[in-house]
Amino acid sequence: MRNDEIASVFDEIADMLELGGENFFRVRAYRNAARTVRDYPEQVTALSREKLDEIPGIGADLADKIATLAATGDLPMRAELKRSFPTGLLDLRNVGGLGPKRIRLLAERLHIRNREDLRRAAEAGQLRTIRGFGPKLEERIVKSLAHTVDEAGQRMQYPEAALVANNLVAYLRGCPQVKQVEVAGSFRRRRDTVGDLDVLVAASEAEPVIRRFLKFPGVTNELGAGDTKATVVVGDKLQIDLRVVPCSSWGAALVYFTGSKAHSVHIRRIAQTYGLLLNEYGLFRSERAIAGAEERDIYKALGMDWVPPELREDRGEVEAALDHRLPALLQRSDLRGDLHTHSTWSDGRATIREMARRAAASGLEYFAVTDHSQRLAMVHGLDSGRLREQAREIEAVGAKVSGIKVLSGIEVDILEDGTLDLPDGVLEELDWVVASVHSKLEQEPSAMTRRLVRAIRNPNVDVIGHPSGRLIGRREASGFDLREVLRVAHEEGCALEVNAQPDRLDLIDTACMAAKRAGVKLVISSDAHHPRDFAALEYGVNQARRGWIEPSDVLNTRPLKELSQRG
């Protein structure tokens, strides 16, 4: 089973436990396990029992369950829980406005067991007979039931979501009552894919904001609108939830709606230890608000440093904020160079001179031309002769384009046995060598590990490009022993790449964290094939920030004279 499949099992168990009224800590243990497995950079089923036990949040009991899932594809516990809950009842988790607690109430009070039961009860006005289910929630549920969308099809890459988000923010600022507006949730945390958008607005009056929101160009379906909330669908898949709050609650609402569920629960429990109540309206002692208007004031009142949104995943950031040891995260302005780009010499769509001009305009001091090597014949990869010819053009362009230093390089293929696609004598002549896997990505993890390790041990290799080979939504990451790869990379002084292309974002955030702990340097690269692709560096920085990466962890934050794969 893949990591995402195992994580889905643990998520389903957590939902069923919560539906059954199980205690909070047991539910949280399964939710945390799901997140840990989903984000883990290696396939957990390929790990030894000893290594499973070492994963934070995976104790002996969960390690046993992972082993059982790997062997049988299911868990006796899951099967037993499912017998306690009709299949249709579990499906209600995907209906807007419903969580496990509300679903449990519907089952107990109205004997609802599936979507059809829910639809009939809602249309008959029966939901409002339950405390907490008013006419507006009832209406929202009816519309959500009518808007059935495949869950997998809802997620989109971050840049695609950003286009809608940025347009919506600008549009809402055209409303005179709007004082502040921000897109929160997974979008603000800069996740690599986004399921929906959570939009927060601080306003002097909510009704005009709701009215303007519902008229946003591109809205194809209105799922519900109330006094301070509204939900729409834009295009054919993107759901947008709007919440309007008073300015006095702006900071509290940002905290509440930005962090992952686990992060939010954790800081609410910190508040409880101080005898405080934290919700989307503010931080309260009894009924007196002690903070709420500013996000930083919430964290400060809890004895914490402000936590950057990208870190709010409950991966140690709460403890770090309490101890005042949060990292000073990498910023786009810290990058001085780009060390993985392509030109028309292989599969790029611009000349070296055009790429150089855009690199300079992007604020970079240097960039490396790293076209593909000869193995990739379909993209006209370079052999030794053409590579030397290209080096002469690079030298000529460097003399003509001011403000940028152009480096000669290659993205050399790592062959099946770990050897490289070009002779060492040729690679020695270059300024920069990216080594990448482009074929046989389905190799067994042990073979892929040996393959990467052999490439890393080649003294000419500066960085391993897009190490896992994943393509988001299209190709699973290759399996390999990340710990061994990091050990050897540290030993050899070889960096690993964070490829900024939106469909790669490879390394993933948790692998960036692991590299940092192992003392392995990273390189944030655009993998640009067109001048406009230099803008993708922003997405690589997002990914690195989610992995707690600081400027000193990244090679291409250094001036060119200090640039080295070692140290």
pLDDT tens across the length of the chain (567 residues): 777 778 888 888 988 888 887 887 888 888 888 878 876 777 788 888 888 888 877 888 888 888 888 888 788 888 888 877 766 777 787 776 777 778 888 888 898 888 888 888 888 888 888 888 888 788 778 877 765 433 434 578 899 899 999 999 999 999 999 999 999 999 999 999 998 999 999 999 999 999 999 999 989 999 989 999 999 999 877 899 999 999 999 999 999 999 998 999 999 999 999 999 999 999 999 889 999 999 999 999 999 999 999 999 999 999 999 999 999 999 999 999 999 999 999 989 899 999 999 999 999 999 999 999 998 877 789 999 999 999 999 999 999 999 999 999 999 999 999 999 999 999 999 999 999 999 988 889 999 999 999 999 999 999 999 999 998 877 778 889 999 999 999 999 999 999 999 999 999 999 999 999 999 999 999 999 999 999 999 999 999 999 999 999 999 999 999 986 444
Boundary-marking domain end, from 294, 322, 350: 322
Q: What single-letter amino acid sits at 310?
A: E
Query: Do residue 217 and residue 264 come from a single domain?
Result: no
Closest by Cα among 541, 167, 551 to 362: 541
All residues at 6 or more sequence positions from 279 whose CB lies less than 8 Å from its CB, including other chains: 252, 256, 268
Query: Do residue 398 and residue 481 come from a single domain?
Result: yes
What CATH number is given to the structural domain containing 187? 3.30.460.10
Boundary-marking domain end, from 187, 210, 245: 245
What's the rounded Cα separation, in Å, for the pair 130 and 425? 77
Polymer length of the chain:
567
Query: Do residue 466 and residue 528 come from a single domain?
Result: yes
What's the rounded Cα separation, in Å, for the pair 434 and 411? 5
What's the rounded Cα separation, in Å, for the pair 359 and 365? 8
Does residue 250 lie in a domain region? no
What CATH number is given to the structural domain containing 394? 3.20.20.140
Does residue 79 lie in a domain region? yes
Does residue 251 lie in a domain region? no
What CATH number is given to the structural domain containing 305? 3.30.210.10
- Which long-range contacts (C-beta less than 8 Å, at least 24 apart) are formed by 173-178? 174/212, 175/203, 175/208, 175/209, 175/212, 176/208, 177/203, 177/204, 177/205, 177/206, 177/208, 177/209, 178/202, 178/203, 178/209
Does residue 294 lie in a domain region? yes
Q: How crowded is residue 128: how many other Cβ atoms within 10 Å of its Cβ?
A: 15
Q: Are 382 and 345 in contact (CB under 8 A)?
A: yes
Query: Do residue 367 and residue 501 come from a single domain?
Result: yes
Query: Do residue 59 and residue 139 come from a single domain?
Result: yes
Closest by Cα among 236, 241, 231 to 140: 231
What's the domain range around 358? Answer: 332-562
Closest by Cα among 491, 563, 544, 553 to 521: 553
- As for how many domains the chain has, the answer is 4
What's the rounded Cα separation, in Å, for the pair 368 and 409? 6
Query: Do residue 110 and residue 210 come from a single domain?
Result: no
Query: Do residue 390 and residue 472 come from a single domain?
Result: yes
Query: Do residue 349 and residue 490 come from a single domain?
Result: yes
What CATH number is given to the structural domain containing 27? 1.10.150.110
Query: Do residue 140 and residue 14 come from a single domain?
Result: yes
What's the rounded Cα separation, in Å, for the pair 34 and 40? 10
- Structure tokens, 72: 């049988």
pLDDT (tens digit, 9 = 90+) per residue, 255-287?
A: 999 999 899 999 999 999 999 999 999 999 988
Query: Do residue 430 and residue 478 come from a single domain?
Result: yes
Does residue 284 lie in a domain region? yes
What's the rounded Cα separation, in Å, for the pair 261 and 250? 19
- Structure tokens, 297: 């004031």
- Structure tokens, 128: 């409002």
Boundary-marking domain end, from 304, 322, 340: 322
What's the rounded Cα separation, in Å, for the pair 509 and 494? 19
Does residue 327 lie in a domain region? no
Does residue 567 lie in a domain region? no
Query: Do residue 351 and residue 484 come from a single domain?
Result: yes
Q: How crowded is residue 235: how many other Cβ atoms within 10 Å of its Cβ?
A: 12
pLDDT (tens digit, 9 = 90+) per residue, 471-515?
A: 887 777 888 999 999 999 999 999 999 999 999 999 999 999 999
Query: Do residue 160 and residue 115 come from a single domain?
Result: no
Does residue 365 lie in a domain region? yes
For residues 498-528, b (16+ Cβ closer than 10 Å) or e, as one string?
bbbbbebbbbbbbbbbbbbeeebbbbbbbbb
